[in-house]
Amino acid sequence: MIIVMRTYIPKAGKGGSLIRLIKQVNDAFVSNAFPKIEILRASHGLHGKLQTIQRWNSNDEYNDSRDKVRGTKEVTSLFDEIYPLLEETHYTELFNVE
């Protein structure tokens, strides 16, 4: 199993809009048979920081999903709304679960 963690830093005043859209991304992922997204909201440090965790069975399963995700208009249209809210693009990390 792997965990894909993404970190999002919104522009000042955009954190509420970002979390609303990330929740919609989760709904779109689940309705398109992708793993659910867990949302973590920072209480300390960078104001408005969000992190998401998504659990995949393997690196191969995750990598194979990338084209399908990019081809899912329901997901890509939400990211078209998310990107303008961010200070910079989100940061992605993959962790192997031992």
Task: Determine the Cα–Cα distance for residues 7 and 77; give it in Å rounded to an integer.
Answer: 19
pLDDT in tens, 60-69: 999 999 999 9
Residue ranges covered by each domain of the chain: 2-96
Give the pLDDT of residue 43.
74
Residues whose CB falls within 8 Å of the CB of residue 66, separated by 6 or more in sequence, listed in order = none
This prediction has a pTM of: 0.90
How far, in Å, CA of 92 to CA of 80, rounded?
18
* Domain 2-96 grouped into CATH 3.30.70.100: yes
Residue pLDDT, tens place only, 3-35: 999 999 999 999 999 999 999 999 999 999 999
- In which residue are the tokens 């890509």 written? 76
